[in-house]
């Protein structure tokens, strides 16, 4: 039987399937013949299996073939990165304001708010119609009939001009150097008979260095920063209305959660020649130190209290009580509206430079833009 199978296989190779069909008298032999013929018809692979070596002229035989590129479409998904900048509410208010940390950093040379930018109507118990000073050269020679009610406009901006000066070894902290400018104008808008003049405008450029801190204090408070400022304030007027002084200011800030913050300042007036000193006794009246505290009652309302004191036996200085109520929404994720309804009550010396030696009580109501 084995010799017959060999003969059938040879004949299949010679004649193909016709030979198998001719074996009609032996079904088993015919079935084996077709099986042999079918095995001989298996095609030789035209493409080598994936990863096998290719043997083609001019091709490096050691390189495996690459899988055929997929024809499925590639879908790109672009996601907004997590919020992390000086408007990110996960950081504390002082951290955002002074950009004390890596996550609350907004870089240098951006324009930011400083003190509130305000437009308000004020009423006072008196108005300085004939400014005087302890320097006789700064005494006005005649009075001007100003009204007790006027409009006040305040502008205040700042920019960070350098950072990372002393915190290179602390990657999560950011010390910073800022330049700030503030301006306050009292406009006699209701004095039509006087052609509605600006009664006074104060200018205040300032250079501020802030060093971040995170030191625990009693009662759940945290010390958040210390700083040093060089401050100039003047009204830019000629004699006899000129008023100005220069100060070096030490400062620090602490907070308790998101609800409370306290900031303190202690300053030293830089000396000037007596002959050109517009206001020799200004530190004894406006003060030599300031403490400002703020309470965020809720997301809409903030109360503030600011005390200034001369640090001398005479209790000169001032007290300022204010209420800020949030208006509107910024519409930006991770941010909030900076517009506030601003009510303020001030009593003491230094409501403006021209009033440095005049005690006034002033009530103001208006709109303020804070830390925009």
> pLDDT tens digits for 133-159?
999 999 999 999 999 999 999 999 999
pLDDT, residue 84, reads: 64
> Is residue 54 assigned to a domain?
no
Average of per-residue pLDDT across 44-59: 52
Query: What is the count of structural domains for the chain?
Result: 2
pTM for the predicted model, two decimal places? 0.76
Q: What is the pLDDT of residues 30-44, one digit of tens each?
A: 777 777 767 776 555
The per-residue pLDDT of the chain, averaged, comes to 86
> Is residue 80 assigned to a domain?
no
Statement to judge: residues 331 and 207 lie in one domain: yes
Statement to judge: residues 28 and 123 lie in one domain: no
Statement to judge: residues 301 and 181 lie in one domain: yes
Sign of the alpha-carbon torsion through 183, 321, 227, 269: positive
Question: Could you tell me which residues are beta bridge partners of residue 160?
Answer: 178
Res. 80 pLDDT band, cuts 50 70 90 = very low
- The DSSP secondary-structure symbol of 18 reads H
pLDDT, residue 294, reads: 98
Nearest to 296 by CA among 336, 347, 332, 250: 336
> Is residue 192 assigned to a domain?
yes
**CB atoms < 10 A from the CB of 237, how many?**
17
Statement to judge: residues 298 and 203 lie in one domain: yes
CATH assignment at residue 106: 2.40.230.10
Statement to judge: residues 34 and 97 lie in one domain: no
Q: Which residue has better confidence, 64 or 162?
A: 162
> Is residue 57 assigned to a domain?
no
CA-CA distance, 109 to 182, in Å (whole number)?
17
Tokens encoding 199: 């009664």
Average of per-residue pLDDT across 177-201: 97
Question: Could you tell me which residues are beta bridge partners of residue 323?
Answer: 303, 343
Q: What is the pLDDT of residues 202-257, one digit of tens each?
A: 999 999 999 999 999 999 999 999 999 999 999 999 999 999 999 999 999 999 99
Tokens encoding 196: 């509605």
Share of the chain above pLDDT 90, in %: 70
pLDDT, residue 345, reads: 98
E-only strand ranges, the chain: 111-113, 117-124, 149-163, 176-187, 198-216, 222-234, 244-256, 260-269, 289-296, 301-309, 317-326, 339-348, 360-369
Statement to judge: residues 253 and 342 lie in one domain: yes
Average of per-residue pLDDT across 18-40: 72
Residue 69 exposure: Cα atoms within 13 Å on the Cβ side: 3
Report whether pLDDT(14) > 50: no
Tokens encoding 72: 């499925």
Statement to judge: residues 171 and 27 lie in one domain: no
- The DSSP secondary-structure symbol of 72 reads S
> Is residue 62 assigned to a domain?
no
**CB atoms < 10 A from the CB of 274, how many?**
8
Res. 83 pLDDT band, cuts 50 70 90 = low
Q: Which residue has better confidence, 187 or 75?
A: 187
Please name the residue that has the structure tokens 């298996």.
Answer: 42
> Is residue 300 assigned to a domain?
yes
Q: How far is CA 140 from the centre of its chain?
A: 45
Statement to judge: residues 97 and 25 lie in one domain: no
CA-CA distance, 317 to 68, in Å (whole number)?
83
Burial (Cβ within 10 Å: 0-12, 13-18, ≥19) of residue 261: buried
- What is the DSSP annotation of 108-128? SS-EEE-SPEEEEEEEES---
Nearest to 98 by CA among 215, 246, 302, 263: 263
Res. 313 pLDDT band, cuts 50 70 90 = confident
Q: Are 99 and 92 in contact (CB under 8 A)?
A: no
The number of residues in the chain equals: 372
> Is residue 65 assigned to a domain?
no
Sign of the alpha-carbon torsion through 233, 120, 349, 347: negative
Q: Which of 1-5, 92-96, 202-206, 256-260 has the lowest mean pLDDT?
A: 1-5
Statement to judge: residues 10 and 114 lie in one domain: no
> Is residue 69 assigned to a domain?
no
Domain, as residue range, for 250: 93-369
pLDDT, residue 337, reads: 81
Statement to judge: residues 100 and 165 lie in one domain: yes
pLDDT, residue 67, reads: 57
Statement to judge: residues 26 and 153 lie in one domain: no
Statement to judge: residues 21 and 130 lie in one domain: no
């Amino acid at each position: 039987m084995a010799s017959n199978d060999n003969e059938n296989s040879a004949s299949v190779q010679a004649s193909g399937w016709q030979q198998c069909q001719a074996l009609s008298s032996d079904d088993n032999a015919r079935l084996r013949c077709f099986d042999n013929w079918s095995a001989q018809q298996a095609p030789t692979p035209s493409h080598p299996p994936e990863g096998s070596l290719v043997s083609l002229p001019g091709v490096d035989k050691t390189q495996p073939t690459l899988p055929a590129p997929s024809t499925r479409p590639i879908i790109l998904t672009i996601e907004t990165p997590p919020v992390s900048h000086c408007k990110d509410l996960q950081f504390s208010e002082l951290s955002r304001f002074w950009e004390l940390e890596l996550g609350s950093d907004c870089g240098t040379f951006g324009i930011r708010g400083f003190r509130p930018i305000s437009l308000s109507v004020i009423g006072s118990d008196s108005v300085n119609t004939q400014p005087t000073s302890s320097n006789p050269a700064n005494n006005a020679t005649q009075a001007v009939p100003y009204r007790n009610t006027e409009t006040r406009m305040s502008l205040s901006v700042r920019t960070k001009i350098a950072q990372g000066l002393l915190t290179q070894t602390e990657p999560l902290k950011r010390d910073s150097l800022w330049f700030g400018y503030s301006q306050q104008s009292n406009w006699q808008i209701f004095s039509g008979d006087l052609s509605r003049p600006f009664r006074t405008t104060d200018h205040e450029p300032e250079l501020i260095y802030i060093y971040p801190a995170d030191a625990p204090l009693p009662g759940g408070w945290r010390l958040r920063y210390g700083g040093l400022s060089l401050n100039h304030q003047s009204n830019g007027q000629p004699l006899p209305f000129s008023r100005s002084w220069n100060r070096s200011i030490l400062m620090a800030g602490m907070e308790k959660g998101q609800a409370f913050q306290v900031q303190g300042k202690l300053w030293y007036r830089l000396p000037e020649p007596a002959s050109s000193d517009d206001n020799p006794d200004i530190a004894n009246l406006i003060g030599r130190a300031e403490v400002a505290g703020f309470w965020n009652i809720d997301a809409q309302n903030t109360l503030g209290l600011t005390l200034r004191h001369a640090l001398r036996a005479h209790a000169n200085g001032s007290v300022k009580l204010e209420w800020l109520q949030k208006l509107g929404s910024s519409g930006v994720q991770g941010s909030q509206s900076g517009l506030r309804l601003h009510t303020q009550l001030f009593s003491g010396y230094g409501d403006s430079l021209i009033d440095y030696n005049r005690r006034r009580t002033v009530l103001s109501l208006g709109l303020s833009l804070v830390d925009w």
